[in-house]
Amino acid sequence: MDNQKKYKLITLLGVVNFPQMPISCDIRRESSKASIIEAYNRAEQLIFVTQTKPYLSDDVISSINNVGCLSSILGVDEHDGVLQVQAEGTKRMSIQSVVKENDSLFCYATELQSVANNPEKVSVLLNSAKEHFVEYTSYDKRITPEILRLVDSLNDADSFVDAVTTIAVRDEKKQLSILNQVVVDDRLELLIGYLLEQIEIAKVNVELSNKVHKSMDKNQKEYYLREQMKAISEELGDEVSEFDEIEQKIKNGKMPEEVKTKALKELNRVKKLPNASPDYSVLRNYLDVLLELPWGIKTVDNKDLVRARQILDEDHSGLDKVKDRIIEYLAVMHLTDKIGGQIICFVGPPGVGKTSIAKSIARALDRKFVKMSVGGVKDESEIRGHRKTYVGAMPGRIIYNMGLAGSTNPVFLIDEIDKMSSDFRGDPTSAMLEVLDPEQNSVFRDNFLEVPFDLSNVLFIATANNISDIPTPLLDRMEVIELSSYTLNEKFDIAKKHLIPKLLEAHGITENDIKIEDEALKEIIDKYTYEAGVRGLERTLASVCRKVAVKAVNDKEKVLYVVTKNNLYDYLGAHKVIVEGKREYPEVGVVSGLAYTTVGGGVLTIEVNLVLGDGKIVMTGRLGDVMQESAKVALSAVMGKAQQFGIDPEIFHKRDLHIHVPEGAVKKDGPSAGCALATAIYSVFAGKKIDNDLAMTGEITIRGNVLAIGGLKEKLFACVRAGISKVIVPEQNREDVKDLPQDITSHLNITYAKTLDDVLQKAMI
């Protein structure tokens, strides 16, 4: 105890430090780095000790070897948070106890002195060890003649053992057993035993090598490694090797000849590599990917169009035009027995069934279905893959998903194709051109595969929310099918047929536990959700189901809970949506316009006021650039017809025009409010009131012509929802009205306008 001294303690994983031997190690633990730097700066020695467990426990001494090495720090260098340390051991130290101070480890240790039980025996063992080491070096080509001469000059038994163990012994446990041994005789015997063991292994390898060489002639040298592995398998009594199985799979598979040739070439390469080689894992991974792909495997299409229509109707309510187009598409595909080179792109607001209808197509065709979301993808390699020379290289997501599909003709959904973007890593939309081009995708080359893969039998379906965000070359390769927002009746049918049964099952309740009356369901759709699709409706109905589930668990007797329009507040609270309704009375300068948004349509109240000024226009309500231009165009259209309308032209220069659109926190943009703006501007200058039971939409020109607009279904549905009975739409949209569902048009008196005169004639009271 009196000889114990206190030292800084550094624990090492997988490294054993011996006296008089240099050591190089990387230190990442902050407390250890601080101790080493302090010791280096003060020229102090510290103790390196090897961990015997992967992690240090609270009782540190149970996690480390009980013998360490007192060492001097020769140099330190820190890069990227890693401290590179060069040190040299001086003495073996027996660690008695370990303490922790401010996160740093210290130990109390005494020097471990070697003991020679029989000096004569030590001398004999030392000479024997030197002879065996010389023999060992004849097999281990890493040991140079300089190292051999240096070790041979060591006459101190301890120094010789430490040096040879550091150089020749690879096993950490054997290194520690030699380090821990106090008796010199035993240390030498342990070392000699290890050297003899390695010499025997080397001799067996040489014998195997000779055996292989004897069975080969001069023309078979390239098969050396393969024959050597066969000889090893025979020696061990193994069955068919893993590489033989891979070779059989390649030869018996349906790969094209070009792919088979490439696969066999890479297989021959990997056979010649040692397992520890970096290229070994790369080539093995490459072969695994090739074998996992469905070369030549196709599912048989179901050509029953009646069944296909039935599946589409089962899975989706409404969307009749979309279903008809899909049936036409499938009919042509079945008659020609090929896809026809056309890619479908479903465009519509969120939640209207773009993804689910793609799944229904796969079910109708009896094809496999895979989905790849490309929203936010910026790297071209996500599509085309990385070259296999890169570390961690993998195939692109197209090839990866084809492997998951298990056939060469799946329905392949590319979701959110409008949300891809490009940066310094490349343009994924350009890579997607090759995938979706029927002229190219039959020989699609992934950077990882380096061989062509046929995508021509794949039925690609893309989805997008905004068609304007899709690059033109990509859009040109797709046939766009628009899915508009659902009407109230369509949402009602979807809820009754699909959502409510699905939610009842998901919440563990049945129709005997809950009944949602039709009026209550309509109230939920109208007053608690405001969206184009039905996702919000599903979440709201799920909230009702959860509350009923709680009641069903708490109530001892089984009760049918009826959700009515009157008790809806108990389940969902106050109304979540305030619908912009019909104005109470006709006013001057106030008109109801119609807007199209990502959640459907809406009524847009536009207010115009005149104030004293010099002809300026003031616009408020967060109007976008296009809408501000529409306001200026509308003013020009009215000013150009001032005399026709009986308006004094001088008043335009004596009054300022203030245009305001309420809900100033919401940004508004688009050209379709031109008619409404012109009507409101005319109203304030002429002093005439505008019909409060009328809404309008249409773009205006400075000549007063009314142009067509988009989003007509959503805008007219907003009129129905707001209780407005009359609506003015552009004459150019007359044909579009014919395609609208009856539950919209039957509630509206729709009139058409070619010019501003037509609009004013119908709008003014």
Cβ 366 vs Cβ 308: under 8 Å: no
What residues does CATH 1.10.8.60 cover in the chain? 488-572
b (16+ CB within 10 A) / e for 355-368: bebbbbbbbbbebb
Buried b (16+ CB within 10 A) or exposed e, 263-289: bbebbeebbebeeeeeebebbbbbbeb
Distance CA 317, CA 319 (A): 7
Most confident of 100-104, 108-112, 281-285, 319-323: 108-112
User: Is 119-208 CATH 1.20.210.10?
Assistant: no
CATH 3.30.230.10 given to domain 587-763: yes
Tell me the CA end-to-end span of the chain in Å, nearest whole number: 110
Going by pLDDT thresholds of 50, 70 and 90, the confidence category of residue 714 is confident
Summarize pLDDT for 483-512 with one digit per residue, the tens: 888 888 888 888 998 899 999 999 998 888
Pick the CATH number of 5-111 from 1.10.287.980, 1.10.3720.10, 3.40.50.1820, 2.30.130.40: 2.30.130.40
Distance (Å, whole) CA 46 – CA 467: 69
Topology classification of domain 488-572: Helicase, Ruva Protein; domain 3 (1.10.8)
Give the active site residues: 672, 715
Mean of all residue pLDDT scores within the chain:
87
Q: Calculate the alpha carbon distances from 714 to 90, 598, 709, 710 in Å.
A: 85, 10, 12, 9
Which of 84-93, 200-209, 224-233, 287-296 is the least confident region? 224-233
What are the residue ranges of CATH 1.20.58.1480 in the chain?
Answer: 119-208
3-state secondary structure of 599: coil
**Could you give the count of Cα atoms lying within 13 Å of 462 in the half-sphere of its Cβ?**
29
- Contact 105/168 with Cβ under 8 angstroms? no
Q: How would residue 147 be classed by pLDDT, with cut points 50, 70 and 90?
A: confident
Cα–Cα distance for residue pair 88/70, rounded to 1 Å? 9
pLDDT of 678 reads 95
What is the distance, to the nearest Å, from the Cα of residue 219 to the centroid of all Cα atoms in its chain? 52
Give span(s): CATH 3.30.230.10, the chain: 587-763
- Is 218's pLDDT higher than 60? no
Residue 8 has pLDDT above 60, yes or no: yes
What string of DSSP letters covers 631-672? HHHHHHHHHHTHHHHT--GGGGGTEEEEEE-S-TTS-B--ST
Residue 239: per-residue pLDDT:
45
Q: Is the pLDDT of residue 300 over 70?
A: yes
pLDDT for the residue 756 = 94
pLDDT for 278 equals 76
How does pLDDT run across 541-554, given as a tens digit for each residue?
999 999 999 988 88
Q: How far apart are CA 715 and CA 599, in angstroms?
A: 11
* Greatest mean pLDDT range, 82-96, 126-140, 326-340, 475-489: 82-96
The residues facing 753 across adjacent strands are: 730
How much of the chain exceeds pLDDT 70, in percent? 94
Hey, which residues does 727 pair with through a beta bridge? 695, 750
Please report which confidence band the pLDDT of residue 268 belongs to, taking 50, 70 and 90 as the band edges. Answer: confident
Top-confidence range, 274-278, 350-354, 433-437, 513-517? 513-517
CATH code 3.40.50.300 for 305-482: yes
- Bridging pattern class, strands 459-464 and 411-415: parallel
What integer pLDDT is reported at residue 341 of this predicted model?
57
pLDDT exceeds cutoff 60 at 337: yes
CB 655 within 8 A of CB 615: yes
Contact by Cβ (8 Å): 516, 544: yes
Residue closest to 137 by CA, chosen among 108, 99, 176, 164:
164
What's the whole-number mean pLDDT along residues 63-85?
Answer: 92
Sign of CA dihedral 51, 54, 59, 60: positive
Mean pLDDT throughout 676-695?
94
Say whether 9 sits in a helix, a strand or coil: strand
- Start-end of CATH 3.40.50.300 domains in the chain: 305-482
User: DSSP letters of 120-131?
Assistant: HHHHHHHHHHHH
What pLDDT score was predicted for residue 219? 43
pLDDT at 632 over 90: yes
d(C-alpha 283, C-alpha 451), whole Å: 14
Residues contacting residue 101 through CB under 8 Å, at least 6 positions apart: none
Q: Which residue intervals of the chain bear CATH 2.30.130.40?
A: 5-111
pLDDT for 758 equals 94
User: Is pLDDT above 80 for 272?
Assistant: no
How many of the other CB atoms lie within 10 Å of CB of 516?
A: 21
- Over pLDDT 90: what percentage of the chain? 35
Q: Which residues contact 536 (CB under 8 A, 6 or more apart)?
A: 351, 529, 530
Q: What is the pLDDT of residue 350?
A: 86
Nearest 5°: the CA angle 92, 94, 100 is: 115
